[in-house]
Structure formats: C-alpha cells, structure tokens
C-alpha cells in the first residue's frame, strides 16, 4: 500500500522574502558599496542565469545579507515567465531586487534542487500566472509563495529528482555548446572551400 505524499505550505519549509526596493538604498553620487545586481534580463526562461547580464549597483551603505543570494537559495521572477534560479557557489553574493522573491529552504526538510524543479514546471508556472495581480506586468505578489502548497516528498526522493534535473541541465548546456561549435566548423569549412576556389 502506498501512502499519498502530503501537501505542505512552502512557508513551513523555507523562509520567503521580497528582494530590495533599489531606489531606497541607491547612491546618487556613485560612491558607496558596490554589488553585483541580479536583473530580470539576466534570468533566462529555462531557469538559468546569464552572468553577462548582471548589473552593477552602488548603495549608500552595507546592505543586509538577507537581500543577497546564498548557496541553496531559489530566486523567482515575480513577472512572466516566473523563472526560478537555483543559486550555487558562482551565483552567491548577488543583490536581489524587488522584482524577485528569495526562497531559502530549510535544508533538513526541503532540497533546493527539488524546489527549483517544482517551481519551473509548466503546471506551476500556469498556477502562478493564474494568481497574478491585475496589472499590465502580470506580476505575482511575493505572498503567493508563502501560501503555496507543494508536494512534500521524502528527502531521498527530493535528492534523486534534484540530481536528475542537474544532469539534464548540464546535458542541455553541453548540447548547446556542441551545436555552436558544429555551426562554426561548418562555416569555416565552407569559407575555406570558397576561398580556395577564388
């Protein structure tokens, strides 16, 4: 006999907070503390982070760590496509603006990779969209995530799902790199043949 996995409020499994309202702490003189700033354009639809699109932010003073990414955090866009990004060592220490919600899982009860997978599923993105506020940007309120119920699997199953998804993401990156290298090779070979005949 199988037992049905229970639904648990995300707020019971993680701390959830909004990012920083940037206008409140921005330095007008370009002097102060400098931070790498996570931007909407740096978060791709597939939940990966484009490090070339990270901005620079100068604040009037030192900002609390609660507004900066930590390893294991899951950062979610509050506007379409509601992509979730999993923070690893290379992505830690970035400033998070109020365009995102910061979810910091309780590591004893919730695997970050599993949460990342849950939040990036098409069914979850539809659910988020259905709960957006009625404005032009279709923004979801950060409080939505506090009330969100997710399936709470045993930790061993969460870890398996996270590992499988990590392998899949690495495979996609390698395939994309291989396609780019093959396209470049085909272009060079074609140019060589063309140049040899003129």
Asked if 32 contacts 60 with a C-beta cutoff of 8 angstroms, the reply is: yes
pLDDT of residue 136: 59
Supply the DSSP string of 53-98, one letter for each residue. G-EEEEESSPPPGGGB--TT-EEEESSTT--EEE--GGGTT-EEBT
pLDDT band at 25 (very low <50, low <70, confident <90, very high): confident
Q: Among 59, 62, 67, which Cα is nearest to 18's?
A: 67
Task: Give the Cα separation of 141 and 164 in Å (integer).
Answer: 30
**Cα torsion through 66, 67, 70, 72, rounded to 10:** 90
Strands 95-96 and 33-38, by their bridges, are: parallel
Task: Give the Cα separation of 42 and 49 in Å (integer).
Answer: 6
Percent of the chain, pLDDT > 70?
95
pLDDT of residue 134: 62
54-68, 97-111, 160-174: range with lowest mean pLDDT:
160-174
Residues 6+ apart with CB under 8 A from 10: 16, 103, 145, 146, 147, 148, 149, 150
CA 97 to chain CA centroid, nearest Å: 13
Asked if 31 contacts 89 with a C-beta cutoff of 8 angstroms, the reply is: no
Place of tokens 């700033």: 37
Give me the chain's average pLDDT, please. 89
pLDDT of residue 93: 93
Q: What is the pLDDT of residues 133-182, one digit of tens each?
A: 666 577 898 899 999 999 999 999 999 999 998 888 888 888 888 898 99
Is the model's pLDDT at 49 over the cut of 50?
Answer: yes
Asked if 101 contacts 78 with a C-beta cutoff of 8 angstroms, the reply is: yes
Task: Give the Cα separation of 163 and 111 in Å (integer).
Answer: 10
pLDDT band at 190 (very low <50, low <70, confident <90, very high): confident
Does 148 sit behind a cis peptide bond, omega within 30 degrees of 0 on the bond before it?
no
Q: What is the pLDDT of residues 72-91, one digit of tens each?
A: 999 999 999 999 999 999 99
Burial class (CB in 10 A: 0-12, 13-18, 19+), 4: exposed
The dihedral through the CA atoms of 27, 44, 145, 154 has a sign that is: negative
């Amino acid at each position: 006999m199988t037992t049905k996995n229970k639904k648990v409020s995300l707020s019971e499994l993680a701390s959830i907070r909004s990012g920083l309202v940037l206008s409140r702490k921005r330095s007008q003189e370009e002097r102060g503390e400098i931070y790498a700033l996570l931007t909407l354009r740096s978060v791709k639809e597939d939940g990966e982070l484009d490090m070339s699109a990270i901005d620079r932010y100068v604040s009037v003073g030192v900002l609390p760590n609660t507004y900066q990414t930590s390893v294991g955090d899951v950062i979610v866009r509050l506007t379409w496509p509601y992509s979730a990004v999993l923070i690893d060592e290379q992505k830690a220490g970035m400033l998070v603006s109020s365009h995102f919600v910061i979810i910091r899982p309780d590591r004893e009860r919730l695997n970050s990779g599993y949460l990342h997978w849950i939040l990036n599923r098409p069914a979850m993105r539809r659910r988020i969209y259905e709960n957006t506020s009625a404005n032009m940007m279709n923004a979801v309120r950060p409080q939505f995530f506090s009330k969100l119920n997710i399936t709470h699997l045993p930790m061993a199953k969460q870890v398996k799902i996270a590992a499988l998804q990590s392998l899949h993401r690495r495979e996609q990156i390698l395939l994309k790199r291989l396609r780019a290298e093959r396209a470049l090779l085909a272009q060079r070979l074609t140019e060589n043949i063309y140049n040899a005949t003129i």
